[in-house]
Structure 1
Amino acid sequence: MTLGNVLITGGASGLGAATVKAVAHHGGTPLVIDRKNVDDDVAFECADLADTAAVEAAVRTLAELVDGRIDGVFTAAGIDSCGRLDDVPAKEWEQVIHVNLLGTVAVIRAALPYLKTTGGRIVTCASTLGIKAVSDATAYCASKFGVIGFSRALAAELAGEVGVTTLIPGGMYTPFFDGRTEQYKPPPDAKLNKPEDVAETVVFALSQPAGCEVREMVVCSSTESSWP
């Protein structure tokens, strides 16, 4: 099965950027939504995932570039705000939910008409902290537990129409941990996954033949501390 046109959020860095390269390498066409610019040879629209109207406009513009054909969606974009609940400002806490959960929903809702036409596939991006809760991560855990619940319900809702896979990745060598205090960074000896390797699993899920569903994938380092 060919990948076709794949909409990727957060495609300017980290796992999203690695997936952009993987999709192109496997013959697909990446379409990126991010707040940061990507390479000139990649179709790109700037949008904040917390802004539903901006997301809808970005999806529509990118779809028009490929004559309305979207074959896949991968929601890689995500943010975090570490700290105890009473220490994290409310707006920062809520922004994590807006981007990670509501932004995921907004992109998929906007892309659904195109995906139903192509019989396409969706890969949502949760986290091992969407199945295991830890202290000082209430916003992130809430958002990623939410992504998993949303994805499971969506898979049931779209059964036979659009494929839905939930990716549950562990820690990766990406800029995701940049800007944190040392307390919230992986230790220097932490063994993390390469985003390029995880991106290949996204391509795998997007490439399944019609009727074959990979519902959930946990992809983590063999020494990942947040799983099981």
Structure 2
Amino acid sequence: MISQSPNPGRVLVTGGASGLGAAIVAAVREHGGTPIVLDRDISAVSGVPAYQVDVADTAAVTEAVRTAAEEAGGLDAVVTAAGIDRCGRLEDVSVEDWELVVGVNLFGTVSTVRAALPALRASRGRIVTVASTLALKGVSDATAYCASKFGVLGFTQALAAELKGEVGVTQLIPGGMKTRFFDDRTEQYKPQDDSQLNDPQNVANAVLFALSQPAGCEVRELFIAHAEEPSWP
């Protein structure tokens, strides 16, 4: 655990009801901050502000982010942890599913950040986008996921150049984690050995590290994975 991190303030987390997002919410609370959850299902969220929204719906997520920022009196950080996957060869994944992956992972990230920018500029806050090891290395049967995460990486690098001196930008590149992310996959696409999956709390602590940097210092990229992560280098 990080014990000396300052209060991270008001941190909006997409996908904050489960998996990595929930771990980030817990870490923000532990360090005295105020997490704000955006998720499709907020039924299990308690004790923190939460807004039910599908980040693939640009109009809805724009409204949710603006409402969240207004009700919180501003935002100090945004972490875009919402993400999905639909595995299979290109011709076997439906057009609807393929485009949904890009809609959630890439367009959802962009829409959330765009809507949060006025509040983040006002607070000189920070953005952490969540990519993946598959933003660095394309693999078979993951064209939608790789395309979306490569896109997140390019978006984040361009955004950092665009916002330098105004809003901090960090790209987070996590390896596989012990979450329910793999639950809806068929057996052939599930990890066969979860001993090489990282604890999402470790990744959440890395996010808090990025958010805890003093003014003028930016963590531009964080690659964090289990010591035996097979997809890197």
- Could you say which residue in structure 2 is the equivalent of 1:44? 50
Contact 2:9–2:76 (Cα < 8 Å) also in 1: yes
CA contact (8 A) 2:54 2:61 kept: yes
Give the AA of the match of 1:27: G
Structure 1 residues 101-137: Cα deviation after superposition (integer angstroms, max 9, x where no partner): 0000000000000000000000000000000110000
Paired residues, number:
227
Structure 1 match to 2:3 = none
Residue type of the alignment partner of 1:3: P
The residue that corresponds to 1:103 in the other structure is 108
Indicate yes or no: 2:18 matched with 1:9. Answer: no
Structure 2 regions of 5+ residues with no counterpart? 1-5
Per-residue deviation at 1:188?
Answer: 2.7
* CA-CA distance at 1:10 after TM superposition: 0.2
- 1:88 alignment partner in structure 2: 93
Residue of structure 2 equivalent to 1:172: 177
Residue equivalent to 1:160: 165
Q: Structure 2: how far apart are the matches of 1:92 and 1:138?
A: 11
3-state SS in 1 of match to 2:172: strand
Partner SS for 1:140: helix
Task: Give the match's secondary structure for 1:134.
Answer: coil
Runs (4+) of structure 1 exceeding 6 A deviation are: none
Give yes or no for the alignment of 1:222 onto 2:227: yes
**Amino acid of the residue matched to residue 72 of structure 2?**
V
Aligned-residue CA RMSD in angstroms?
0.9
Do residues 22 (structure 1) and 24 (structure 2) align?
Answer: no
How far apart are the structure 2 equivalents of 1:181 and 1:2? 41
SS in 1 for 2:141: coil
State the alpha-carbon separation in 2 of the partners of residues 176 and 227 from structure 1: 20
Map residues 142-153 of structure 1 onto 2, 5 A cutoff.
142-153=147-158
Shift in Å, 1:60: 1.4
Counterpart CA distance in 1 for 2:185 and 2:101 is 15
Question: TM-score if structure 2 supplies the norm length?
Answer: 0.96
The amino acid that maps onto 1:214 is: V
In structure 2, C-alpha distance between the alignment counterparts of 1:217 and 1:30, rounded to whole Å: 21
Encode CA deviations 1:159-178: one digit per residue, 9 max, x unaligned: 00000000000000000000
